[in-house]
Amino acid sequence: MRIVEVLGYVRDQRALPYLLLSLDDPALVVQQQVASALQTFAPESIPGLIDRVLHSASELVATRAEQVLGGIGEAAVTPVIQALSPVVPGRTHLLVRARAHTRSAGDTGAHSAAA
């Protein structure tokens, strides 16, 4: 789906709602392109991703959003930590997992040793 690539490249903020809705697309290639585009849109995409993690009716969409957040890295750390409270049963643990992924994705050896 080439349109997703173009939307990520152009970074038009009007595309964010479309990209966030596309997290539920069943096609693997679309999922990969949507994840890449949402990471490109960071930090603007972070609030929408956190919302999908905490409030999506689909566990699959919540998990995909968590994975994208984890791939964003350092820019997602503070917003994810702030979203840990209040606890959303069955979902906050996904933010904890995203935070763990941001740490492993963004840390250098020196920073890891200090943690």
Q: What is the pLDDT of residue 110?
A: 36
The count of C-alpha atoms lying within 13 angstroms of the C-alpha of 26, restricted to the half-sphere facing its C-beta, is 0
Tens of pLDDT, residue by residue over 5-63, are 666 666 778 889 999 999 999 999 999 999 999 999 999 999 999 999 999 999 999 99
Q: How far is CA 112 from the centre of its chain?
A: 22
pLDDT at 115 over 50: no
pLDDT at 88 over 70: yes
- pLDDT confidence of residue 108: 41
- Residue 84 scores a pLDDT above 60: yes
81 vs 57: CA distance, rounded Å: 22
Tokens of 84: 């840990």
Distance CA 15, CA 115 (A): 37
Concatenating the DSSP letter of every residue in 74-113 gives HHHHHHHHHTTSS--TTTHHHHHHHHHHHHHHH--HHHHH
Distance separating alpha carbons of residues 101 and 83, to the nearest angstrom: 16
Question: What's the predicted TM-score (pTM) here?
Answer: 0.83
Alpha carbon of 106 to those of 23, 45, 50, 114: distances in Å? 23, 18, 18, 14
